[in-house]
Chain A
């Protein structure tokens, strides 16, 4: 992941409670609005962060209120990078079944990781599987004008 000219950054620690991630999420989305990112990019970051934060709180920390979720975000004129770390045991992303497989298509859950990968430019987990780093490259100028 290349070096970037960061123009905004923040770090927050949130409790493992549903809804606890709303303020930091809104803070980041507001920052993208302020820097005039297009709505599709903002939607993409919103969706990926929702899914990653739910994974960290519900599946990583298992709603254990003694555990926290660490969120770090940096924004450059061309890129947003988000790191989300939970205090759980981690997981192996390659073990998650393909939700589009006919055997899983009607499963009520298991689509978050696929959506994160589809809507972001890069999604990488650490070896333990309790930290995800996601990047979204800002849409090119042509797309900005079209928007």
Chain B
């Protein structure tokens, strides 16, 4: 397994919970690495229940959204479930404007996300 540079990964029961190490998910290299690490959880480690916790994320650009959409496709293709949680209001606005709040299952916080599996 490649060393996680961008993510902190833990397990709660059979659910994989991911926290982001970067407060700002902007620059190209960081987004590429974040994507590869997320994809590896699904394709390399066959994890089927994922929660992405955005509590530490203060800023992200639309390029990061692209990686999340690709991740969602990969999870669904394997019969898995992806949930997002703890998204601060400004970033939630980005999801709402682009209607991605309808594509993703977004919960208020981690406990609500875990309870929803």
Interface status of B44 (Cβ within 8 A of chain A): no
- How many Å lie between the Cα of A54 and that of B97 in the bound state? 19
- How many Å lie between the Cα of A44 and that of B10 in the bound state? 32
Once the chains bind, are B28 and A111 in contact (CB under 8 Å)? no
What per-residue 1/0 map shows which CB atoms of A79-102 lie under 8 Å from chain B?
A: 000000000000000000001100
List A contacts of B65 (CB < 8 A).
Answer: 111
List A contacts of B7 (CB < 8 A).
Answer: none
For chain B, residues 46 to 77, give those with C-beta under 8 angstroms from any C-beta of chain A.
Answer: 59, 61-63, 65-67, 69-70, 73
Q: Which one of B28, B67, B94 contacts A115 once the chains associate, using CB atoms below 8 Å? A: B94
List B contacts of A107 (CB < 8 A).
Answer: 66, 69
List A contacts of B27 (CB < 8 A).
Answer: 18-19, 22
List B contacts of A9 (CB < 8 A).
Answer: none
Interface status of B98 (Cβ within 8 A of chain A): yes
A-B pair count, CB < 8 Å, reads 51
Once the chains bind, are B26 and A108 in contact (CB under 8 Å)? no
- How many Å lie between the Cα of A119 and that of B24 in the bound state? 18
CB-nearest residue of chain A relative to B35? A108
Once the chains bind, are B28 and A100 in contact (CB under 8 Å)? no
- Nearest CB on A from B56, distance (A): 16
Interface status of A67 (Cβ within 8 A of chain B): no
Chain B contributes a number of interface residues (CB within 8 A of A) equal to 21
Interface status of A4 (Cβ within 8 A of chain B): no
For chain A, residues 48 to 98, give those with C-beta under 8 angstroms from any C-beta of chain B.
Answer: 50-51, 54
Chain A contributes a number of interface residues (CB within 8 A of B) equal to 23
Once the chains bind, are B70 and A111 in contact (CB under 8 Å)? no
Interface status of B3 (Cβ within 8 A of chain A): no
Once the chains bind, are B97 and A105 in contact (CB under 8 Å)? no
Once the chains bind, are A54 and B63 in contact (CB under 8 Å)? yes
Once the chains bind, are B94 and A100 in contact (CB under 8 Å)? no
Once the chains bind, are A100 and B99 in contact (CB under 8 Å)? yes
Once the chains bind, are B61 and A109 in contact (CB under 8 Å)? no
Please name 5 pairs of A and B residues whose Cβ atoms are closer than 8 Å in the assembled complex, sorted by A. Answer: A43-B59, A54-B61, A112-B62, A114-B98, A118-B97
- Residues of B at the A interface (CB closer than 8 Å) are 26-29, 59, 61-63, 65-67, 69-70, 73, 90, 94, 97-100, 103
